Structure 1
Amino acid sequence: MKLLFIGARLFDDVAVYTKKMGITTVLTESNPQAQNLDLADSYHLVPRGMEHPKDIAIKEDVDGIVPLIGIDEPLKEVALLKEELETDYGLPVVASPLKAVSIAGDKVKTKEFLLKNNIKTPEHELIHSCTKMGTKKYPLVLKQSCGQGGKNIKIALSLEDLCCYLEEYDTALVERFIDGIEISIEILRWKNNSLPLVPVSKGKTTLDCIHPLKKLKKAPFQIDNTIAESKIDYYSQKIRNIALKIANLLNIEGTADLDLIFDKYDKNTYVLEINTRISGTRYLTAAASDINPLHEMVDMATGSWNVKNVSKRIKKYYALEIPVGDYVSDKNNYRFREFHGDNSWIIHGPDNHQRITIRGKNEKNAHKIAAQLNLDLGKIRN
């Protein structure tokens, strides 16, 4: 079995797994300085775009393609590659089709899709002028239709803030600010079979737009200590049901994640965004459920993925992810990218932006591991 992987940055997450499964790996990458090139059995440095990966896939006679894409920009090209290779060559490409990518990649289209399908999303409107906006209830969230990682997002506390934003951008997607908890949930879907995984808490919403990467994150999803566990399970299942509905309606393939907010006042969950790409919460998902989304993508490409078997393999752990900036460790490499047993941890991420993800048998065990690693959770925003 031979697979082509597009993109080297995340290849360290699958390098050990592909070796263990006896898969021959071919890697394409446009950056000659990229890390992880030597982890593949062979690699090709190519210009940006999907034309060269397509030619290499055909020339190398691979059995499937796994795009290791964690950013939005190339996703439409990947979707077109998928359409061509699957239609003309019968080669599976583990990525979402063009329709799903086009809707998910545009926040305005995403809102239209959610409303059309009666899925809760914060009240919003697309504006081009400050006129008549003074009567709005602030704070408001301001966004552009495209962008990820918090780019071009601002919290407007007043009409003046809103007008300043519109001086920089011609339009703004204006959204009601919700005081609550940010959530992500990853979905696996292949050959019309869908499996939502564990909802992840990414911290409380803030007026200063603190990115979740800088917060303490937890899985499974938590609200606060006053909510009974049975009620948490109820809310978590509702989130899974939302994810399942969206995945099936959009015909998502491979892996995707939803960004949501749980409103602590009305106890409703509102969908913010749909991301048809590899998620930044994948380590938390793996820690809490024992399901590694990237490994599942490999299985999809080889034709061995079975949704019932994956569902049976799901376990329940308590997981924490802590931003550490730079942490002295010799374990931040591909050899240590898998969790083992009830209590373990993984360090990952680039210099200055490293994170440690901890798996504990329960919350007490996870906090004990954090203490052993000299991590003061009280100093980290959540």
Structure 2
Amino acid sequence: MKILFIGARLFDDVAFYAEQNGLETILTESNPLAHNLELADKHYLVSRGMKEPMDIAIREDVDAVVPLMGIDGPLLEVAQMKEKLEEDHGIPVAASGVSATSIAKDKLKTKEFLLKNGIKTPKFHKILPGTDEIIDTSFPVVLKQPEGQGGSGVKILPSRVDLDNCLEGLKNSMEEIFLEEFLQGIEVSIEVLRWNGSSVPLVPVYKGETTVEGIHPLNKIKKAPLELEGVNNKKNNLKIQELASKIAELMGIEGTADIDIIFDVEKRETNIIEINNRPSGTRYMTAASTGVNPLHELVDMAAGCWNPEKVQKHLKHFAGLEIPVGTLESERNNYKFRDFSGEESWIVHGPKNYERVTIRGKNLEETFKIAESLKIDLKME
């Protein structure tokens, strides 16, 4: 079987798995300096966009396509390519279609989708471009642009003065913006797999408390499964998983998606913030704590052997811990060391100077012991 992968940056997460399963791999990439090109059986350097990858998929007569996009920008083009390849050429693409992608990539459309379906999300107020509207809101408040990821287009404004100054600076801008209620709570992510009408929600991942400084979760210690003091965690996590499945089914997500949540500890409420139908930054935590690697699941979907019942049956119940380390002296940050093994193991991943270590343990206490044995600084915890 021959599979086309689009995007080299995440290809090291699937290269060894594809090789183990006897799959022929073709990789397309627009950056000639990208890493991982040599890991594929064949690779093509292409222009930005999906036209050339689509032409290659047809010319190479591939059996399926797996887009490995960790950013939002190209996702609508990927969705359009998916519909054309599937409808005109019978080539499955392990990604979401146009409808789901249009909702996910626009935060305002996401809000409207959630409200329409009775799913709790923080209160928000849309601001028209160039408006002089006097806005009644509590502080701090979050200012957002409809598109953007990784914190881009997001500002947390502590006071009325900050809001007025920010709006004055945007007065001549034609970009849509909106204000969102700032919730003091816990940041959570959950990945959900969906293919051929079946969904498998994975594990809720703790990403730290919300902060007025807007510290990105990549710079925080993450833990899985989610455990909160004073909460029935088993029941709460099951409710989050059920909600993730509901969202995936209502949107018609395909492949993998990451759902971002703020859990209001005081009110015991789950608030959906964003839905990202692409590989998640929590995928290593998911793999550590459940034994399910979401990107491997995309390969299985493309290969026609994905079985949701089998995935559910083989879900493990380990603890996961992920720590930003900057740099860890190790030769294990490569594709041959991307899989967890046994009850206690660890991997290192990420670009130079921005590495992270993800640890699997029988329980959270054991993961911290492993971190200490690796001499990892835990002062940020």
TM range (shorter): over 0.9
- Map 1:113-192 onto structure 2 (within 5 A): 113-128=113-128, 129=131, 131-133=133-135, 135-169=136-170, 170=173, 171-192=176-197
- What secondary structure is seen at the aligned counterpart in 2 of 1:148? coil
Aligned to 2:57: 57
Q: Distance in 2 between matches of 1:132 and 1:49?
A: 41
Aligned partner of 2:320 in structure 1 is 319
What SS class does the counterpart of residue 227 from structure 2 fall into? coil
Matched, 1:27 2:27: yes
| Closer/same/farther in 2, CA of residues 285 and 74 from structure 1, 3 Å limit | same
State the match for 1:199 in structure 2: 204
Q: Counterparts of 1:143 and 1:136 in 2: how far apart (Å)?
A: 15
Residue aligning to 1:254: 255
For residues 49 and 251 of structure 1, the distance between their equivalents in structure 2, rounded to whole angstroms, comes to 24
Deviations 1:15-72 (A, max 9, x none): 1100100000000001110000000000000111111111111111111000000100
**Cα distance in 2 between the residues matched to 1:12 and 1:366:** 25
Matching of residue 37 in structure 1 with residue 37 in structure 2: yes
> Is the contact made by 1:130 and 1:163 (CA closer than 8 Å) also made in structure 2?
no
Q: Tell whether the 8 Å contact from 1:342 to 1:361 is kept in structure 2 after alignment.
A: yes
Does structure 1 retain, via aligned residues, the 8 Å contact 2:319–2:361?
yes
Residue in structure 2 matched with residue 86 of structure 1 by the alignment: 86
Alignment of 1:222-301 (within 5 A): 222-224=227-229, 227=230, 231-301=232-302
Q: Residues of 2 paired with 1:301 and 1:145: CA distance?
A: 31
Do the aligned residues in 2 keep the contact of 1:287 with 1:317 (CA within 8 Å)? yes
Kindly indicate whether the alpha-carbon contact (under 8 Å) linking 2:325 and 2:377 is maintained by their aligned counterparts in 1. Answer: no
1:310-339 deviations in whole A, cap 9, x for unaligned?
A: 111100000000000111111111110000
Moved over 2 A (4+): 128-133, 167-172
* 3-state SS, counterpart of residue 103 of structure 1: helix
**Which residue of structure 2 lines up, in the alignment, with residue 347 of structure 1?**
348
The secondary structure found in structure 2 opposite 1:335 is: helix
Structure 2: 5+ residue runs without aligned partners? none
2:370 aligned residue? 369
For 2:293, the aligned partner's letter is N
Q: Give structure 1 stretches of 5+ with no counterpart.
A: none
Offset of 1:136 from its aligned partner?
2.0
1:80 is matched by which residue type in structure 2? Q
* Cα offset, 1:130, TM superposition: 6.1
Q: C-alpha deviations, 1:146-184, integer Å up to 9, x for none?
A: 100001211111111112222343443111111110000
Q: Give yes or no for the alignment of 1:330 onto 2:331.
A: yes
SS at match of 1:76: helix
- Separation in 2, partners of 1:105, 1:304: 29
Match for residue 106 of structure 1?
A: 106
**CA distance in 2 between partners of 1:166 and 1:130 (Å):** 9
Give the distance between the partners of 1:130 and 1:24, measured in 2 at CA. 58
The DSSP-based 3-state class of the residue aligned with 1:213 is helix
RMSD of aligned alpha carbons: 1.1
What is the rounded CA distance, in whole Å, between the counterparts of 1:131 and 1:160 in structure 2? 15
Residues 181 and 223 in structure 1, CA contact (< 8 A), matched pair in contact too: no
Take 1:280 and 1:165, find their aligned partners in 2: how far apart are those partners?
A: 30
Amino acid corresponding to residue 261 of structure 1 in structure 2: I
Q: Tell me the distance in 2 between the aligned counterparts of 1:173 and 1:344.
A: 43
Q: Secondary structure at the match of 1:154?
A: strand
Q: State the secondary structure of the residue aligned to 1:70.
A: coil
2:213 is equivalent to residue 213 of structure 1: no
1:192-211, Cα deviation, whole Å (9 max, x unpaired): 01011000011000000000
**Partner of 1:68 in structure 2?**
68
Q: Does 1:303 align with 2:313?
A: no
Q: Is the 8 A contact 2:321 2:359 kept in 1?
A: yes
Query: In 2, distance between residues paired with 1:279 and 1:222?
Result: 20
What is the SS of the residue equivalent to 2:156? strand
- Deviation per residue, 1:332-368 (Å, 9 max, x gap): 1111000000000010000121100000011121111
The match for 2:5 is 5
Do the aligned partners of residues 179 and 22 (structure 1) sit closer, same or farther apart at CA in structure 2, a change above 3 Å counting? Answer: same
1:112-142: CA deviation from partner (whole Å, max 9, x where unpaired): 0000000000011112446432x42111111
